[in-house]
Structure 1
Amino acid sequence: MTPPPVPAPTAGEAAFMAELRRLKAWSGLSYRELERAAHAAGEVLPYSTAATMLRRDRLPREAVLVAFLIACGLGAEDTRQWVAARRELTMGAPPFPAPAPQPPVLRGRPRRLLAVVGAATAVAFLAGVSATAIGTLTVQEEQTVEYTGQP
């Protein structure tokens, strides 16, 4: 019998998953047979989980990988090799994309400061309007000033 496929951690996730597909073919088992073999070994591997895992190019969870490897008939040393390769792949890639910068959120004092500045601006505006209105004369007052010559 040929030896089982071995993982190549430096090749990336897609290559790792391609090797897992080769491993399934090497085992010669159907998805239902893999489920039964995992159960017999004390592992849980629903056939639908195995099928979904092999359709994707993303790494499976470690527990699912171990159950799959055991169901395929790999020994402890081969299983350790696959798990180590998966861990290397997960450590090499950033776990999450960098978050987009968020606008600052004003809390507490800055909010109060904005409220005070807004109120002061409103008061200043109204005071300016009032001063302008106080300094103007109506048409009748202007006519009276012109006629009498006194304000």
Structure 2
Amino acid sequence: MTTPSPGRADDGAAFVAELRRLKAWSGLSYRQLERRAAEAGETLPYSTASTMLGRRSLPREELLVAFVRACGLDGDDVDAWVAARRRIAAGAAVPAAPPPRRERRAGWRAALAGAAAAFVFGLTGGVALAVGGGGDVDIVEAGPTAPGR
């Protein structure tokens, strides 16, 4: 198997796919990569490396360098990976705005408010407090009235 190269990658997803190929090429586990990075004085937590390879976006540059070196590359090879990452990052388009949310019908809100009011009246024996915009409190009574009223 030839050493994977980032040259073919044209976006974050393709770049990460090449990183996955590099890991497979190295034959190392995530824990072994973590140990090799630590031996070189770099930080590469195995969980971070695993998460990086599970995403479709570009990793941070310092994480990339630690990973590529831990996989067994150095010098010009590391520089090629960093240059490819920078090239993709510079050409990355700003994500498009998310599509507009569908207008939700307001009917469900009115139904929910009515159900909540009925629930409150049921819990309080037909008496509830309503606070107006000015802070005034009105007592609202519903249901059967007490005998003698």
TM-score scaled to structure 1, two decimals?
A: 0.60
The 10-residue stretch of structure 1 (6-15 or 69-78) with the greater mean CA deviation from structure 2: 6-15
**What amino acid maps onto 1:14 in structure 2?**
A
Q: CA RMSD in A?
A: 1.6
Alignment of 1:62 onto 2:57: no
Distance across 1 between alignment mates of 2:73 and 2:94: 29
Unaligned runs of 5+ residues in structure 1 are 99-151
Distance across 1 between alignment mates of 2:38 and 2:9: 32
Q: Which has the larger radius of gyration?
A: 1
Query: What's the secondary structure of 2:6's corresponding residue?
Result: coil
Distance across 2 between alignment mates of 1:28 and 1:70: 14
Distance across 2 between alignment mates of 1:41 and 1:12: 29
Distance across 2 between alignment mates of 1:13 and 1:97: 16
- 1:80 is matched with which residue? 79
Distance across 2 between alignment mates of 1:93 and 1:86: 10
The structure-2 alpha-carbon separation of the partners of 1:10 and 1:48, relative to structure 1 and needing over 3 Å to count, comes to closer
Query: What's the secondary structure of 2:44's corresponding residue?
Result: coil
Once the two structures are superposed, the pairs formed by residues 2-151 of structure 1 within 5 Å of their partners are 2-8=1-7, 11-94=10-93
Report which structure shows greater RCO (CA 8 Å, sep ≥6). 1
Distance across 1 between alignment mates of 2:3 and 2:12: 19
**Contact 1:8 1:15 survives alignment (8 Å):** no
Q: Kindly state the Cα deviation for residue 13 of structure 1 after the two structures are TM-superposed.
A: 1.5
Cα deviation 1:4-36 (Å, max 9, x = unaligned): 100035522111111000000000000000000
Distance across 2 between alignment mates of 1:9 and 1:95: 21
**Contact 1:34 1:45 survives alignment (8 Å):** yes
**What amino acid maps onto 2:46 in structure 1?**
Y
**Contact 1:23 1:72 survives alignment (8 Å):** yes
Query: What's the secondary structure of 1:73's corresponding residue?
Result: coil
TM-score scaled to structure 2, two decimals?
A: 0.61
